[in-house]
Amino acid sequence: MPGGRAEMWNLLLDPAVLEKCIPGCEKLESTGPDQYRADLAVGVAAIKGKYSGLMTITNKRPPEAFQLQVSGQGAPGWVKAVMNFELAAQGQETVLHYQIDAQVGGLIASVGQRMLGGVAKMLLGEMFKGLRAQAEALER
């Protein structure tokens, strides 16, 4: 990411930025400190659907690490994910490490499991592309 850790930290935890960058995010509203309600529209191959979910930010160690816990439910099934992010300084830039443990159930699990790996990578790719674009806009 083009920018220092503190700057990136603020960017990553800014709900307005997240709303823009999380693929399929239609709405992200704060329900308390570090707690959000999200409406998402995501498709896995032919299985398109809307999910409503909760997002909680925990284990904050600014500016180096935080954890996102996400759970969502919708007609195509449910998703539960724990995402650990680490920000490492590298010169003027920040390297973002992430580790995600996601569980899915319902239609997406029984119909989409062959595609899930690829779709997950694609969605993450989109998200980080969006975040980088936001960061670059900030740097300009």
Partner 1 sequence: MAASAKSGKWVGSPMPRVEDRRLLTGTGVFIDDMNPVPNIHHVAVVRSPHAHARILGIDFARALEVPGVLGVVTGADFKALMKPLGVGIENPPPYYSVAVDKARYMGEPVALVVARDRYTAEDAAELVAVDYEPLPAVVCPEQAAQPEAPILHESLGTNVVLRRVMKYGNAEKAFAEADLVVSDRFVFPKYGSTPMETFGVIAQWNQVTGEYTIWANFHGPFSMHPVMAAALGVPGNKLRVITPKDIGGGFGIKTSIFPSMVMVAVVARKLGVPVKWTEDRREHLLSSSSGTDRVSYCQLAFKQDGTLTGWRQRWYDNVGGYIRAPEPACSFRTHGNLIGPYKVQDVELDANVVCTNRSLTGPNRGYGNQELYFPVERLMDIAAEKLGLDPAEIRRRNLIEPHQMPYTTPTGGVYDAGDYPTTLQRALESFGYEELKRERESAQQQGRLFGIGIALAVDPSVSNMGYVTVAYPPEYRAQPSYKAKGAANETVQIQVDPLGKVNVLLPSCPQGQGHETVAAQIVADELGIHPREISVNSEMDTGTRFWSITAGSYSSRFASVTSSAICGAARVIRDKVVAIAARAMDASPDQIELAGGEVRVRNSDKKMKFHHVTGLAHWNQSALPDGMSPGLNATFTFAFERALPPNEQDQVQSSQTYGFLAEVVAVELDPQTMKLKFRKWVSAHDAGNLLNPMLAEGQVIGSIAHGIGGAMYEEMAYDENGQCLTGTLADYLIPTAMEIPDIQIEHVNTPSPWTMLGSKGAGEASTETAPIVIANAVADALRPAGVTVRELPVTPSRVWHWVQAARSGG
Contact pick of 27, 114, 121, 129 for partner 1 (by CB under 8 A):
114
Q: Which residues contact 56 (CB under 8 A, 6 or more apart)?
A: 34, 35, 36, 68, 69, 70
Chain Cα centroid distance, residue 24: 11
| 52 vs 58, beta carbon nearer partner 1 | 52
Contact status: 41 vs partner 1 (CB under 8 A): no
**Terminus-to-terminus CA distance in the chain, angstroms?**
13
Contact status: 39 vs partner 1 (CB under 8 A): no
Q: Which residues contact 107 (CB under 8 A, 6 or more apart)?
A: 47, 49, 75, 76, 77
Contact flags string 89-108 toward partner 1, x per CB under 8 A: --------------xxxxx-
Which one of the spans 27-35, 75-83, 84-92, 130-138 is the region binding partner 1 (CB under 8 A)?
75-83
Q: Which residues bind partner 1 (CB under 8 A)?
A: 73, 75, 77-78, 103-107, 109-111, 113-114
